[in-house]
Amino acid sequence: MQKLKVIVILGQTSTGKSDLAVKIAKKVNGEVISADSRQVYKGLDLGTGKITRREMQGVPHHLLDVASPKKRFSVAEYKKLADQKIKEIIARGKIPIICGGTGLYIDAVVNGIIFPEVPPNDKLRKQLTQKSAIALFQVLKKLDKNRAKNIDPKNKVRLIRAIEIAKFLGKVPKITEVKPLYDFIKIGLYLPVDILKEKISIRLFARIRAGMITEAKNLHKNGLSWKRMEELGLEYRQLALYLQKKISKQKMIEKLNSEIYKYAKRQMTWFKKDKEIKWFDVDKSFNKLCDIINLCKQHQYQTMKKKD
């Protein structure tokens, strides 16, 4: 029996995933499910490069603004919500389009991963909180080399949680995978390194001009602590340091350009493991992409017709 298809658009930051998702959604009568670990949070808009209402062009988007930035949102929570949204979109006779750059979120849905319940270990967390990010990264490296390859080595919250899981489950966390219900068409977007660096810089300056610093100020005024803002990583880490006068604005911009590019490299390291991804330079390969999407649309129509 043929499975219904779900389109997945993934890749590094600044490669144009959101724009492509909207174009494809309009072409195939689809709806977009975000797969971004920070865009799930309310109020983290300019700092995460969250798509605007205008940019959505009327295409429904899901799993944006579903959690408070004051609380941690887990990949298990994401998977539960994403699975539900896929069912709802298909029930409306539309095609789900998962779009984002968080490999762990995408893999959780695509591979049908069932995450083990690992309760918080307050005693361990207190001990680990005293350590620097560098020390935490070394601890994780000894416990689970694979997880260490794909984690942000400066994000203490993620490092602590990864160590907590590894210690609870053993050196290699045992994660169960179940047979996926759908056929996932994985489209990866890439850009040459020099163009990617340029786009990262252009996008960063555009977000600063649009009010990214003011956004961070307002988040803090509304109760988001500096500590939690730093835990959210990348833009918010550097914005928190700047607003506390720990670094200059110029230093913040330099650090962000560097850190965002390093993050893009980590994203590609994660995605390269998946041999099912079809990679495209979207500027040069849009016609080929359209051919794949049209085939997907025809298949979905025929499969749903048979089910009726």
- 5-115+175-307: CATH topology: Rossmann fold (3.40.50)
Nearest to 292 by CA among 191, 190, 188, 185: 185
Most distant pair of Cα atoms in the chain: their distance:
63
Residue 142 is predicted with a pLDDT of: 87
pTM score, whole prediction: 0.81
- Helix axes of 193-210 and 212-221: crossing angle, nearest 10 degrees: 60
Residue 295 is predicted with a pLDDT of: 61
197 and 246 Cβ atoms separated by less than 8 Å: no
pLDDT digit of tens for each residue in the chain (308 aa)? 578 889 999 999 999 999 999 999 998 899 999 999 999 999 999 999 999 999 999 999 999 999 999 998 988 899 999 999 999 999 999 999 999 999 989 999 998 877 666 777 888 988 898 899 899 999 998 888 877 877 878 888 778 888 888 887 764 455 566 677 898 999 999 999 999 999 999 999 999 999 999 999 999 999 999 999 998 989 999 999 999 999 999 999 999 999 999 999 999 999 998 999 999 886 666 666 666 666 666 655 555 555 55
25 and 204 Cβ atoms separated by less than 8 Å: no
Would you kindly state where each structural domain of the chain is located, as residue ranges? 5-115+175-307, 116-174
